[in-house]
């Protein structure tokens, strides 16, 4: 940053080209940095994960919900293994914890809302 400060002088226009080339060098270096690569990957994830659901996803959700109803109606849960039950419990716990974490972030307090 000190390089840009040393080149930039508002009252002297001779350094304009040098300033522009220095800014371009810094911008090129920033786009090739490790942080820029990680941000590009992160953008790919958040555009997929945080996008609103599409119509096809609602159809899949309805099919999954019907499958869960059938599972409970036929009492298939009596035939799952301990490992499967443990994994289902952990998934349910994860969903519950994400809900409570989201609530805590949303209200910006551990206990109660700021009124």
As a whole number of angstroms, the distance between CA 82 and CA 56 comes to 33
Does a structural domain hold residue 49? no
Does a structural domain hold residue 50? no
**pTM over 0.75, yes/no:** no
Give me the pLDDT at residue 12, please: 53
Give me the pLDDT at residue 8, please: 54
Same domain, 72 and 101: yes
Same domain, 77 and 33: no
Average pLDDT estimate for 21-41: 86
Q: How many domains does the chain have?
A: 2
Does a structural domain hold residue 29? yes
Does a structural domain hold residue 46? no
Does a structural domain hold residue 48? no
Specify whether the CB–CB gap between 26 and 32 falls below 8 A: no
As a whole number of angstroms, the distance between CA 40 and CA 71 comes to 41
Same domain, 29 and 66: no
Same domain, 59 and 98: yes
Give me the pLDDT at residue 16, please: 81
Same domain, 22 and 64: no
Specify whether the CB–CB gap between 18 and 7 falls below 8 A: yes
Q: Which domain holds residue 27?
A: 2-39
Say how many C-beta atoms besides its own lie within 10 A of residue 2's C-beta.
6
The residue among 10 and 60 whose pLDDT is bigger is 60
As a whole number of angstroms, the distance between CA 55 and CA 58 comes to 5
Cα three-residue angle 83-85-86, rounded to 5 degrees: 65
Does a structural domain hold residue 59? yes
């Amino acid at each position: 940053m000190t390089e840009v400060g040393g080149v930039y002088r508002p009252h002297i226009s001779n350094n304009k080209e040098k300033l522009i080339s220095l800014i371009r060098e810094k911008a090129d270096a920033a786009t090739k940095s490790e942080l820029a690569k990680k941000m590009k990957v992160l953008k790919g994830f958040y555009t997929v994960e945080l996008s609103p659901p599409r119509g096809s996803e609602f159809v899949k959700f309805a099919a999954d919900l019907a499958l869960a109803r059938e599972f409970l109606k036929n009492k298939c849960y009596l035939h799952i293994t301990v490992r499967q039950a443990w994994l289902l419990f952990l998934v349910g716990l994860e969903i519950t914890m994400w809900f409570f974490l989201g609530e805590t972030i949303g209200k910006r307090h551990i206990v109660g809302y700021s009124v």
